Structure 1
Amino acid sequence: MEELIKIAVAKAMSYTEYNLLFKQLAAEGRTTGEPGPEKINYTKLNLSRSKRLDKTIKLSEGQKECFQSINKKQTWLVVTEPWCGDAAQSLPFFNKISECSKNIELKIILRDENPELMDAFLTKGSRSIPKFIILDENLQVINHWGPRSKAATKVLNDYIQEHGQMDEQLKTELQLWYNKNKGEAILNEIQELVLCEKNSATI
């Protein structure tokens, strides 16, 4: 695990580099991983959503204070793909948080290029993304999160329980939920992870 993480961090992209790749793929009608019309379409759509969030996200003073209180270097490693809808809703928030703390470095790697690392962070046996991994200054795993908030997961699970499947309507309803929630569930859960780590460090 330690070696996998070191290799991943060494070759990971910054948020700026990831967005450059994102824009190039969308402009050229391509995507990462196994190409297909649906994934190409979602790559373009996700770029638009990410750009909008980059412009509109605002952290509260309490949230800023929480993340600025991190007093040791951390690497926030995110495993994702440009076609992933949940990632488009969370990555801009991870970036906004990292911008407010000198001790957080955000790094991004692609899932399909790092299957061994992805398999170390499965969600109920699935390679669900994004996977957000908090590493300390020695690249040891502090905590991890993903692929979506508990509230968003409930929306998904409730829909599947009622309709028996994941379909395009579910994606629409999940997007409407994201629009209404405005990232508060994501911010609250990442804040809880940071606070839990601080509290455990002081015990």
Structure 2
Amino acid sequence: MATPVLSAERLAASYTYHAYRQLIDDLQAEGKTTGPQQSELLTNYTRLNVQRMHRLDKTVQLLPELREALAALRKPYVWLIITEGWCGDAAQIVPVLEAVAQASAGNITTHFLLRDDNLDLMDQYLTAGGRSIPKLVVLDAATLTEVANWGPRPATAQQMFLDLKSQDLPFEEFSTQLHGWYAKDKTQSTQRELLALLKSL
């Protein structure tokens, strides 16, 4: 018998998307961001991320085949999303995850946990030994056991990330190139990978 990824009580204490976004807004109003590390740099990243998420909330158009896969779901799933407000990749991906869930006719519910408040969970989903986010863990809604996981970014973006990292670029240049890729991609790679995930369920 597979072990639940987390308890029902812990899941109930997670954030909804609205509450996650509100938390970030409230912290921004205090000149802060999520997590124990606080700096002007992280606060500035978070401000940019709020703008990114706001734009994506308004503009994400789901692929027709993704909508078809959602309509074909025959049981409910919990999407557990490990994230932080200062993470640029999370800002590019989390609104897409929420849009998919919203289009699922109630078969997918999203639950958000902050990485640095949940390191025991995060450390079960490391990427090449690192705590890369966002991380999506798909759970069976009845048992809270894992059926799939995805993240921290689409494969093309992940390869780009590794290539840029190997060049030892200044962070600003690194970030500009990566977010430029997201802007050109218009969430298509994320959506196609989520489509493959849904078909695998």
- Partner in structure 2 of residue 132 of structure 1: 136
Which residue of 43, 46, 62 corresponds with 1:43?
46
Contact map agreement 2:5 2:146 (CA 8 A) in 1? no
TM-score under structure 2 normalisation?
Answer: 0.92
- Partner in structure 2 of residue 172 of structure 1: 176
Which residue of 90, 100, 103 corresponds with 2:93?
90
Cα distance in structure 2, aligned partners of 1:119 and 1:160? 22
The alpha carbon displacement at 1:69 in A equals 1.4
Cα distance in structure 1, aligned partners of 2:171 and 2:42? 15
Of 42-51 and 165-174, deviating more is: 165-174
The alpha carbon displacement at 1:60 in A equals 2.5
- Partner in structure 2 of residue 61 of structure 1: 64
One-letter amino acid matched to 1:169: E
Q: Aligned in 2, Cα 1:167/1:3: closer, same or farther, shift over 3 Å?
A: closer
Which residue of 157, 163, 180 corresponds with 1:158?
163
Alignment of 1:30 with 2:32, yes or no, is yes
The alpha carbon displacement at 1:9 in A equals 1.4
Among the aligned pairs, what percent are the same residue? 38
Secondary structure in 1 matching 2:85:
coil
One-letter amino acid matched to 2:14: A
> Structure 2 stretches of 5 or more lacking a match?
none
Of 60-69 and 96-105, deviating more is: 60-69
CA shift digits 1:146-166 (9 cap, x unpaired): 1111010111122233x2356
Secondary structure in 2 matching 1:76:
strand
One-letter amino acid matched to 1:194: L
Pairwise mapping of residues 14-25 of structure 1 onto structure 2 (< 5 A)?
14-25=16-27
Cα distance in structure 2, aligned partners of 1:72 and 1:21? 30
Secondary structure in 1 matching 2:131:
coil
- Partner in structure 2 of residue 141 of structure 1: 146
Alignment of 1:183 with 2:187, yes or no, is yes
Cα distance in structure 2, aligned partners of 1:155 and 1:182? 16
Cα distance in structure 1, aligned partners of 2:156 and 2:7? 29
Cα distance in structure 1, aligned partners of 2:87 and 2:78? 22
Cα distance in structure 2, aligned partners of 1:122 and 1:9? 20
Secondary structure in 2 matching 1:77:
strand
Alignment of 1:74 with 2:77, yes or no, is yes
> Structure 1 stretches of 5 or more lacking a match?
198-203
The alpha carbon displacement at 1:106 in A equals 0.6
The alpha carbon displacement at 1:7 in A equals 4.6
TM-score under structure 1 normalisation?
Answer: 0.91
